[in-house]
Amino acid sequence: MPGTFTHEFATELYNGTVTVNTGLFINGQFVDSVDRESIDVISPVDGSVITKVSIGNARDIDIAVKAARAAFKSSWGLKVPGSERGKLLYKLADLLEKNADAVAAIEALDAGKPFVYAKGQDVQDAIDNLRYFAGWADKNHGQTIETAEAKFAYTRHEPIGTVAGIVPWNFPLYITIWKIAPALATGNTIVLKPSEMTPLSALKLAELAKEAGFPDGVLNVVTGYGAVAGQALTEHPLVGKVSFTGSTTIGRKVMETAAKTNLKRVTLELGGNSPTLIFDDANLEQTVKWVCWIIFHNCGQMCAAGARILVQEGIYDKFLQAFTDAAESLKQGDSFKATTQQGPLVSKTQLDRVLGYIESGKQEGARIVTGGSHIEGPGYFVKPTIFVDVKPDMKIVREEIFGPVAVVFKFKTEEEAIEAANDTDYGLSSYVFTENVSRAIRVSNAIEAGSCFINEAILMRPQVPFGGYKQSGYGKDMSEYALEAYTQVKAVHVNLSLKL
């Protein structure tokens, strides 16, 4: 039988004990993987082993998918009214709120997030998303359509069946909710594959879903490697849709596999290299605070990080000095200290990757204003880093670094800024800082990105869609738009006259 992980916290922010089942969650039960294999979960704060969790392969995925399919037919899907599905989602949100401290502690432990942010943002945003989609569960209606006097036509929004959610390691709980909330609200069952590096919050959520009363098989969680468990999910013929968040490279593989198998639907939220445009009339003090959040929050491990910072020449020198001072003042360290503002990178692999980009920038001639190195000692900490004297063709400009590294440009005109902002293969997010409302709207309309935040950082709400343009993927998470990805429309034609 699978084991459990118990950890006692005695910190200034959380004093308590958390327990997480470490097996796979299939058909309402925590079970060992078929091969009884496991993987270490590593603390990014000090590199120590937190625990071991079961790790699944293609056979485990097959068992989970078949359990989800059986549940869809017998105890979920169209057999359960939307109002009842909504009640269960509300109950799950209530349980998550009740256990917010424990779940935030789990996120801080295995993802290295500062506890304050894990609780106040990741967990709270997850709760908000659950409640938002719970409200949609009985409101996803079709239409009646006028055609002729003797004919009645209408549409039904029906669930796809069994869907797959593949979740990255940077926001383990929050993005998990992006997948399961709309899927379950619309009547689908789901098999979730969290990252093998940060699986604990998804396993805890499965435990809470069981407590909330979801029928067995409706939600399944299989921890595994992307190349094994993730590949098996995208190949499985009983999976009707895949929602993937991760790199553009893997997103292409997901799309290719889905096309080669059963033409399952795919939505992709992929990489980004987002521009931040700062105009001369921006409020300097507030802009610096927002920009620090845009690039250094979660140690820069955000697909929507605005790492390409374009600053108009009239404010450039003042901004750069203030931005440098702010970056150097950020406090890194223990996730459970109230003063900690930035945690570590998630793994040694990610640390080496980010340091490789920093070295590339130096070799190509960019100049480091601050940072640029690993903080000595245990853990995967990198100093907040700012590059200047950068050129558009440099690797640190063209590619997604996914770390606390910013590149800063100078521009003269609005047209120049827009052209530079759009000079990328990506199009996930963008940021504009100006007190000129007309300019803000004009520039946001011209930027080729799925989101634009004006005079703020990436503060998402469940009512507003999120997704990318170009190689940042397609499809939307959150909002009413997300429901479309989890339903299929059936047209019903009724001949009232019964005549040919």
Name every residue whose Cβ is closer than 8 Å to that of residue 230 and which is 6 or more positions away in sequence.
Answer: 166, 193, 224, 250, 254
| Phi, psi of 311, rounded to the nearest 5 degrees | -120, 130
269 catalytic, yes or no? yes
Distance CA 129, CA 121 (A): 12
Distance CA 118, CA 468 (A): 25
Catalytic residue of the set 107, 196, 207, 269: 269
303 catalytic, yes or no? yes
Distance CA 435, CA 413 (A): 16
Distance CA 272, CA 54 (A): 31
- Judge contact between 219 and 180, C-beta under 8 A: yes
Catalytic residues: 269, 303
